Amino acid sequence: MAHAMENFCTISEEYDIDGEVGFALPNPLENLPDVYNDWMSIAKHLPDLIESGKLRERVEKLDMLSIDHLRDHKSQRLAHLVLGCITMAYVWDRGCGDVRKVLPKNIAVPYCQLSEKLQLPPILVYADCVLANWKKKDPNKNMDVLFSFRHTDCSKGFFLVSLLVEIEAASAIKEIPTIFKAMRMQELDTLRKALLKIASCLEKALQVFHQIHEHVDPQVFFNVLRIYLAGWKGNPQLSEGLTYDGFWKDAKQFSGGSAGQSSIFQCFDVLLGIPQRAGGGSAAQFLQDMRMYMPPAHRNFLCSLESNPSVREFVLLKGDAGLQEAYDACVKALVNLRNYHLQIVTKYVLIPASQKSKNNTSKEPSEQENKGTGGTDLMNFLKTVRTTTQKSLLKEG
């Protein structure tokens, strides 16, 4: 009997993975039902409201709305994005250190109720700001974001380049059924070709990643957009977390949106048997924690992948040189992506942090400034993930 993982239609239906955009939400809705017009109005005008200093006043005057009119998945995902953007704007406002530690109940209660329904945390996650925050502007497939925080925050470039990397890498997901079927049928050449296709998709994703330099300015990203992606876990500005008034008595800590919440690269780590979550270190724990920030269907997909036969063990067992080279091509493609990610972090986080500290005449960037939006020690985390990937090569060099 053929396994479910051997049929992409089954994978697509069971785990909400699209044949064209992968883990991204296909054709997201752009508007909510009319009853939520006040939410939409604030989200669409965040740049002006933040700039004028009127954002918090508008949020505090909102009526408490029921989530009962959000009847389908796409409307619920749009509402989670909308409420996430409003929450980040309310907490951080202009990013000048005036931080709100309590989210008003008129926004906190529906946000938390909706988050429970979607099995996502009540904070702006990667699945919101990247995977569901896009639209096609015209028939030529030119894209735009649905929401941004400031007029000059580079959010369009940052979110869309991240999305395009996801979409390019998503083509490789279609090879997963071929891989498991080839293993079951002992078709080594079919397996080798499928692995090479995955490597090619990941190499193309890296080329798309290069576009970030054209569309995102390092100083603007660091000093503006990054503020609104920060969470309230491991963040000294909200050391106890955020209080969701009317829903939980105690403050809650949640990580901000980060690439660690992307399912696509955890997917290929699992498929190739790269033990990122082994050993119990901080990087392993962070990746495990980030699964709770993914849509539940995508979390389930990763768990299902883990329960399937090991591609790595199969390749090692067969001892076929061509198969091993194809496997290593996939691993090298992941190493190259992670090397490039380290370069991006240096350019967009470490250097601006260093420049900011010089302007402030202090000796070194603060620990918080060198952390990722997810609350990690960014460089150590990325280097650990990269090193673990490199060690998974079957042949050195």
Per-residue pLDDT averaged across 161-175, rounded? 95
pLDDT band at 2; cut points 50, 70, 90:
very low
Per-residue pLDDT averaged across 177-193, rounded? 97
Per-residue pLDDT averaged across 342-366, rounded? 77
Output the pLDDT for position 20.
94
Output the pLDDT for position 1.
37
Output the pLDDT for position 365.
47
pLDDT band at 28; cut points 50, 70, 90:
very high
Output the pLDDT for position 343.
95
**3-state secondary structure at position 18:** strand
Q: How many residues appear in the chain? A: 397
Digit-coded pLDDT (tens) for 262-298: 999 999 999 999 998 665 678 888 899 999 999 999 9
Tell me what percent of the residues of the chain surpass a pLDDT of 90: 84
The reply, when asked if residue 341 is annotated as ligand binding, is yes
Output the pLDDT for position 374.
44
Digit-coded pLDDT (tens) for 48-76: 999 999 999 999 999 999 999 999 999 99
* 358 has a pLDDT exceeding 80: no
pLDDT band at 139; cut points 50, 70, 90:
low
pTM, two decimals, is: 0.94
* 141 has a pLDDT exceeding 60: yes
Q: What domains does the chain contain, in order, with CATH numbers? A: 13-391 (1.20.58.480)
Per-residue pLDDT averaged across 152-157, rounded? 90
283-308 burial by CB neighbour count: b if 16+ within 10 A, else e? bbebbebbbebbbebbbebbebbeeb
As a whole number, the mean pLDDT across the chain is 92
Per-residue pLDDT averaged across 316-325, rounded? 97
Question: What is the rounded distance in angstroms from the CA atom of residue 228 to the CA atom of residue 165?
Answer: 22
Digit-coded pLDDT (tens) for 114-129: 999 999 999 999 999 9
Output the pLDDT for position 364.
45
* 205 has a pLDDT exceeding 70: yes
Give 27-90 as a DSSP string: S--S---GGGHHHHHHHHTHHHHHHHT-HHHHHHTPPP--STT--SHHHHHHHHHHHHHHHHHH
Digit-coded pLDDT (tens) for 223-241: 999 999 999 998 999 999 9
Question: What is the rounded distance in angstroms from the CA atom of residue 288 to the CA atom of residue 270?
Answer: 12
| CA-closest candidate to residue 334, choices 206, 211, 210 | 206
Least confident of 220-224, 316-320, 361-365: 361-365
* 155 has a pLDDT exceeding 60: yes
Instruction: Name the strand (E) or helix (H) holding 102.
Output: strand 102-103
- DSSP annotation of 136 reads E
- Rounded to whole angstroms, the maximal C-alpha distance in the chain is 68
